[in-house]
């Protein structure tokens, strides 16, 4: 296990979408800290998926470029602490939330 301090900043909140696992402000804050594609479920579980490269055709110029997408390979899964789950519930229900930080125990990849 690795312990990390996670800071959910104002820009994570502004860019976040309620009830969207991959666009949750907490998922945005976790992504750069732990890597992979991060989703946060409504019950407070963090799911980290591997990334894969696929070709994407840019519609405006019809050029194929490589782009990263989440794969179906779940690398690890763990729970948020209760205070982070409550913050997420408040955000998802439309309550005004403020930036906050929390400590998170992150398991190593298997």
Closest CA relative to residue 74, chosen from 38, 22, 26, 33? 38
Tell whether 69 is covered by a domain.
yes
Tell whether 32 is covered by a domain.
yes
Q: Which residues pair with 62 in a beta bridge?
A: none
CA separation for the pair 59, 109 (Å, rounded)? 36
Percent of the chain with pLDDT over 70: 98
Mean of the pLDDT values across residues 54-62?
A: 86
Mean of the pLDDT values across residues 33-53?
A: 93
**Phi-psi label, residue 94: left if phi above 0, alpha if psi -120 to 50, beta otherwise:** left
Range(s) of the domain holding residue 44 = 2-105
The pLDDT of residue 110: 61
Tell whether 110 is covered by a domain.
no
Tell whether 52 is covered by a domain.
yes
Tell whether 24 is covered by a domain.
yes
CA separation for the pair 5, 33 (Å, rounded)? 9
Mean of the pLDDT values across residues 43-66?
A: 89
pTM (two decimals): 0.85
SS3 77: strand
Specify the DSSP class assigned to residue 4: E
C-alpha Rg value of the chain to the nearest Å: 15
CA separation for the pair 103, 66 (Å, rounded)? 35
Number of domains in the chain: 1
């Amino acid at each position: 296990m690795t312990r990390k301090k996670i800071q959910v900043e104002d820009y994570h909140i502004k860019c976040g979408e309620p009830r969207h696992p991959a666009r949750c402000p907490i998922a945005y804050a976790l992504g750069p800290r732990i890597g992979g594609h991060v989703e946060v479920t409504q019950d407070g579980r963090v799911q980290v998926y591997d990334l894969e490269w696929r070709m994407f055709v840019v519609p405006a110029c019809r050029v194929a470029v490589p782009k990263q997408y989440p794969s179906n390979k779940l690398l690890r899964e763990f729970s948020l602490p209760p205070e982070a789950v409550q913050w997420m519930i408040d955000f998802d229900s439309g309550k005004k939330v403020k930036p906050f930080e929390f400590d998170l125990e992150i398991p190593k990849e298997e």
